């Protein structure tokens, strides 16, 4: 973890951003796989991690705005716990690492909150995303689960987002470590891709790189010959000549910071000419988006720029027609690119998505409901310190093509006869991670092959 001062300063800043009352940050519990004693790898709640730094289950943090004190509530381990889990620091030792002086048994939480409520002090909490947190808050605050879900504090969400969106130099260093490990995951895969190997074998090797570096995955690995399925987590295919293999995988460091990279690799030594043409359009959209990164530029404009490059390229190839600006404004390009150009990244790979994209990526403004644009996670003006991904893609999704064609949707912009001939193409994207700086941007981590020549050279 960072030094105790880092966490103290973060909490102090939060105190200045929330007007009054208690800020309640729930740490996560173990999550059973199939019974209590067999849990998934423990993952601390990212906001708890950000403000308290402690990656142990069963902790609750309270930040008292007016009284200026912090408390961590938890449970001391018994000898029986230690028999199974080994020795751990005492609650007091853990708190000292986070710069917190006050500790209480977790059993005191209800009384502590009841006393605050009696004094009509507001109790701020973030939107709970785990059922056990909803049930705990329901019990502690005497609300129904439905009320809990509606009562997250917008004031707290806004304050947390404001801090966590702007990464500090020590966070950037940690993120860069995660991206470097992620790059090694991709280089490992690029060296393995060949006809006859399975998606599962490559996914296993990629996973190993993340684990061997001492952390975990930052999200489930996408390792697939069906790149057109955006979040495809099955690994049950054997790679065949003529196909492309898409890897979207990232590591999370032991401290919880994420990397997130995508690459697309031909299964054979070379891309086919069909694949090259589409790959090149996608790469041009990718590079155009990167070149436009700058503080003050709304990311929505960068996304639309990437969409226009894709639409122009697809028009040049005969898939689209008509005015490119009009086609993109109407959302016709979303047949091929139904998602967003990027997202925030930090302690979560989609950073703070649990707090609401409206606050994290849209500065409190509502998202568009247009197909395609509604999946854009980031639209707000970029600021120095933001860490974001760039990941435009081109996808031929047979079911979506069939549906739009049957509906005669956007026939003024889409040449369905030509699209029909690419229904078996699949999908592709590249993805890289960037820091927004005072005067532009900086690529995070070591670069991985992304031009056609660079990717093919990996297979020489």
- For ligand GLY, the binding residues (CB under 6 A) are 219, 248, 260, 343
- Order of strands across the sheet with 261-266? 222-224, 244-249, 261-266
As given in the structure block, the two tokens for residue 7 are: 């966490």
Please give the C-alpha separations between residue 22 and each of 25, 67, 71, 117, 132, in angstroms, as whole numbers.
Answer: 10, 9, 11, 10, 21
Binding flag, residue 252, Mn ion (CB under 5 A): no
Which residues lie below 8 Å from residue 51, measured CB to CB, with a gap of 6+? 7, 10, 11, 14, 25, 61, 63
Tell me whether residue 94 or residue 350 sits nearer to ligand GLY (CB atom). Answer: 350
**Cβ 343 to ligand GLY shortest distance, Å:** 6
Q: For residue 266, list its beta bridge partners.
A: 244
**Cβ 219 to ligand GLY shortest distance, Å:** 5
Tell me whether residue 375 or residue 415 sits nearer to ligand GLY (CB atom). Answer: 375
User: Distance (Å, rounded) from C-alpha 260 to C-alpha 345?
Assistant: 8
Tell me whether residue 159 or residue 217 sits nearer to ligand GLY (CB atom). Answer: 217
Tell me whether residue 10 or residue 177 sits nearer to Mn ion (CB atom). Answer: 177
Out of ligand GLY, Mn ion, none, what residue 219 binds, judged by CB under 5 to 8 A for its kind, is: ligand GLY
Do 346 and 172 form a contact (C-beta atoms < 8 A)? no
Out of Mn ion, ligand GLY, none, what residue 176 binds, judged by CB under 5 to 8 A for its kind, is: none
Please give the C-alpha separations between residue 287 and each of 181, 284, 427, in angstroms, as whole numbers.
Answer: 23, 5, 18
Candidates 64-72, 267-275, 382-390, 400-408: pick the segment binding Mn ion (CB under 5 A).
382-390
Out of ligand GLY, Mn ion, none, what residue 252 binds, judged by CB under 5 to 8 A for its kind, is: none
109-118 and 131-141 helices, crossing angle to 10°: 50
Tell me whether residue 164 or residue 377 sits nearer to ligand GLY (CB atom). Answer: 377
**Cβ 376 to Mn ion shortest distance, Å:** 12
Tell me whether residue 248 or residue 432 sits nearer to ligand GLY (CB atom). Answer: 248
Tell me whether residue 184 or residue 248 sits nearer to ligand GLY (CB atom). Answer: 248
Q: For residue 261, list its beta bridge partners.
A: 249
In which residue are the tokens 């209480």 written? 104
Binding flag, residue 260, Mn ion (CB under 5 A): yes
Binding flag, residue 6, Mn ion (CB under 5 A): no
Out of ligand GLY, Mn ion, none, what residue 300 binds, judged by CB under 5 to 8 A for its kind, is: none
Binding flag, residue 341, Mn ion (CB under 5 A): no
Binding flag, residue 389, Mn ion (CB under 5 A): yes
In which residue are the tokens 């853990």 written? 94
Q: For residue 223, list its beta bridge partners.
A: 247
Residues in contact with Mn ion by the rule CB under 5 A: 260, 389
């Amino acid at each position: 973890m960072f030094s105790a001062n880092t966490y103290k300063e973060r909490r102090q800043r939060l105190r200045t951003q929330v007007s009054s009352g208690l800020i309640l940050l729930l740490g996560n519990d173990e999550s059973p796989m199939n019974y209590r004693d067999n849990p998934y790898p423990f993952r601390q709640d990212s906001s708890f991690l950000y403000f308290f730094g402690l990656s142990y289950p069963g902790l609750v943090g309270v930040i008292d705005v007016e009284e200026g004190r912090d408390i961590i509530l938890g449970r001391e381990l018994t000898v029986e716990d230690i028999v199974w889990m080994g020795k751990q620091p005492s609650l007091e030792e853990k708190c000292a690492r986070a710069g917190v002086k006050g500790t209480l048994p977790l059993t005191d939480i209800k009384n502590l909150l009841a006393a605050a409520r009696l004094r009509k002090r507001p109790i701020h909490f973030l939107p709970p995303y785990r059922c056990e947190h909803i049930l705990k808050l329901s019990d502690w605050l005497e609300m129904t689960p439905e009320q809990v879900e509606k009562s997250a504090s917008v004031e707290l969400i806004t304050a947390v987002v404001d801090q966590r969106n702007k990464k500090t130099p020590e966070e950037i260093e940690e993120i860069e470590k995660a991206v470097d490990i992620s790059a090694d995951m991709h280089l490992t895969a690029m060296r393995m891709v060949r006809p006859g190997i399975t998606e599962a074998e490559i996914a296993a090797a990629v996973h190993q790189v993340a684990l061997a570096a001492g952390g975990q995955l930052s999200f489930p690995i996408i390792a697939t010959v069906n790149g057109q399925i955006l979040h495809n987590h099955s690994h049950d295919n054997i790679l065949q000549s003529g196909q492309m293999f898409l890897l979207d995988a990232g590591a999370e460091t032991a401290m919880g910071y994420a990397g997130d990279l995508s690459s697309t690799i031909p299964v054979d030594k070379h891309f086919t000419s069909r694949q090259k043409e589409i790959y090149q359009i996608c790469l041009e959209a990718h590079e155009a988006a990167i070149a436009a990164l700058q503080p003050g530029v709304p990311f929505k404009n960068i996304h639309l720029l990437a969409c226009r490059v894709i639409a122009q390229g697809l028009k040049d190839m005969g898939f689209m027609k008509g005015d490119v600006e009009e086609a993109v404004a109407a959302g016709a390009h979303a047949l091929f690119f139904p998602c967003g150009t990027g997202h925030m990244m930090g302690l979560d790979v989609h950073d703070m998505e649990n707090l609401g994209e409206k606050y994290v990526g849209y500065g409190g403004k509502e998202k568009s409901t247009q197909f395609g644009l509604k999946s854009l996670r980031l639209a707000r003006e970029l600021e120095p310190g933001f860490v974001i991904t760039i990941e435009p893609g081109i996808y031929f999704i047979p079911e979506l093509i069939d549906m739009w064609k049957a509906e005669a949707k956007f026939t003024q912009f889409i040449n369905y006869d030509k699209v029909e001939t690419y229904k078996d193409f699949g999908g592709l994207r590249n993805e890289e991670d960037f820091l927004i700086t005072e005067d532009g941007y900086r690529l995070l981590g070591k670069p991985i092959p992304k031009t056609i020549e660079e990717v093919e050279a990996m297979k020489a």
